[in-house]
């Protein structure tokens, strides 16, 4: 998180989207540490929100894991794929299952697909139901969540 060092490396042309042997990038580290200013700087200087690795979560999933709505918004503002599926489902299903109402509201305001799920994980509505979160259930239904999937 040393901003001066990061600025120097970017100025010297270091690939800020490179990943280490653990599958982490500078952006994923900044997100997991909730360093929004570092994440913003990296994104503004070309860091990608997409990574090919399977070892760590992609930045948007990681931001949802932190529960920090500002980090989620920052990534969405830099074209992170709101409807991408991972082994845990979509970011919307992850946020719904975690009861993160502010993040769910943000994702819905950005037109996240309320019915998207993969073969491993149920749709976001199921996550909200299993958490007995009536407010999230109503919000997802209001945005068109299907009850029969």
Q: What is the CATH number of the domain that holds 114?
A: 1.25.40.20
pLDDT of 25 over the 90 cut: no
Domain boundaries, position 89: 83-149
State in Å, rounded, how far the first CA of the chain is from the last one.
Answer: 43
pLDDT at 119: 59
The H-assigned helical ranges of 21-147 are 26-32, 36-44, 59-66, 69-77, 91-98, 101-109, 124-130, 134-142
Compute CA 42 distance to the chain's CA centroid, rounded to the nearest angstrom. 16
- Give yes or no for a contact between 65 and 99, defined as CB atoms under 8 angstroms apart: no
Single out the residue in 56, 81, 106 at which a domain terminates.
81
Using the 3D structure, point to which of 39, 59, 81 is the last residue of a domain: 81
* Contacts with 51 (C-beta within 8 Å, 6 or more apart), sequence order: 19, 23, 25, 28, 58, 59
pLDDT digits (tens, 9 = 90+) for 44-55: 999 998 875 555
Q: Which residues contact 85 (CB under 8 A, 6 or more apart)?
A: 116, 117, 118, 121
The per-residue pLDDT for range 62-92, each reduced to its tens digit, is 999 999 999 999 999 999 999 988 777 889 9
Q: State the total domains in the chain.
A: 2
Provide Rg for the chain, Cα atoms. 16
pLDDT for the residue 140: 86
Task: Based on the fold, state whether residues 54 and 72 are members of the same structural domain.
Answer: yes
Query: Whole-structure pTM over 0.85, yes or no?
Result: no
**Domain end: 81, 108, 135, which one?**
81
């Amino acid at each position: 998180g040393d901003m001066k060092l990061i600025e120097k490396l970017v100025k010297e042309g270091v690939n800020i989207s490179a990943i280490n042997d653990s599958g982490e990038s500078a952006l994923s580290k900044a997100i997991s540490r909730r360093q929004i200013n570092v994440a913003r700087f990296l994104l503004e200087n070309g860091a990608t929100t997409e990574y090919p690795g399977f070892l760590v979560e992609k930045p948007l999933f990681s931001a949802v894991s932190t529960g920090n709505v500002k980090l989620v918004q920052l990534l969405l503002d830099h074209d992170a794929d709101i409807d991408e599926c991972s082994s845990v489902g979509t970011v919307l299903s992850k946020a719904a299952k975690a009861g993160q109402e502010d993040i769910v509201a943000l994702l819905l305001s950005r037109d996240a697909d309320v019915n998207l799920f993969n073969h491993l994980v149920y749709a976001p509505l199921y996550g909200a139901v299993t958490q007995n979160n009536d407010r999230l259930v109503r919000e997802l239904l209001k945005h068109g969540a299907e009850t029969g999937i």
